[in-house]
């Protein structure tokens, strides 16, 4: 159960940005969502990452397990979980695709969408950024 109110308002989003959520790298990164911010129907995990030397916040066993692989990959330089996506871009994508963008059901405020992981990786002597979302196979056809 979440320890704080789960509703989204523009003020709350502005406060999260002011707190530096979704900013930083390695040990200084602050995830957009922590396990205290999201109600969970499953298990959540917090543990110190070997690669980043900071506490990760995972909302499922699957996210935790994927991070174990990333933490030990020689190509992965940084791991950022619960990474916020640009709200203007996600709203525009939803409009272009003619789908509804997620909004808070009470306030009707557009929700800042996140991806489970943003990784910094070294591939072919280049630094690249890869976003990944992990879901159980049973949820892949969920609209």
* Per-residue pLDDT tens digits for 20-60: 999 999 999 999 998 787 766 668 888 888 899 999 998 88
Q: Answer whether 110's CB lies under 8 Å from 85's CB.
A: no
Mind giving me the DSSP string for 19-58?
Answer: TTTT---GGG---SS-TTTS--SS--EEEE-TTT-SEEEE
What pLDDT, on the 0 to 100 scale, is given for residue 1? 43
Strand partners, 127: 122
pTM listed for this prediction: 0.86
Instruction: Name all domains of the chain by residue range, CATH numbers in brackets.
Output: 10-139 (3.40.1350.10)
Using CB atoms within 10 A of its CB, is residue 25 exposed (0-12), middle (13-18) or buried (19+)?
exposed
Q: How far apart are the first and last CA of the chain?
A: 25
Q: What is the mean pLDDT of the chain?
A: 90
Locus of tokens 């929700």: 111
């Amino acid at each position: 159960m979440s320890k704080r109110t789960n509703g989204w308002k523009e003020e709350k989003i502005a406060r999260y940005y002011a707190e530096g959520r979704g900013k930083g790298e390695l040990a200084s990164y602050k995830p957009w969502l922590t396990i205290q911010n999201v109600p969970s129907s499953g298990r959540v995990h917090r543990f110190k990452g070997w690669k980043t030397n900071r506490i990760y916040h995972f909302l499922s066993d699957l996210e935790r397990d994927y991070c174990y692989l990333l933490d030990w990959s020689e190509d992965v330089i940084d791991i950022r979980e619960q990474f916020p996506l640009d709200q203007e871009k996600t709203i525009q994508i939803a409009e272009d695709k003619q789908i509804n963008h997620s909004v808070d059901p009470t306030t009707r405020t557009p929700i800042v969408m996140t991806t489970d992981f943003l990784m910094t990786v070294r591939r072919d002597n280049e630094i690249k950024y890869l976003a990944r979302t992990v879901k159980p196979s049973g949820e892949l056809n969920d609209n």
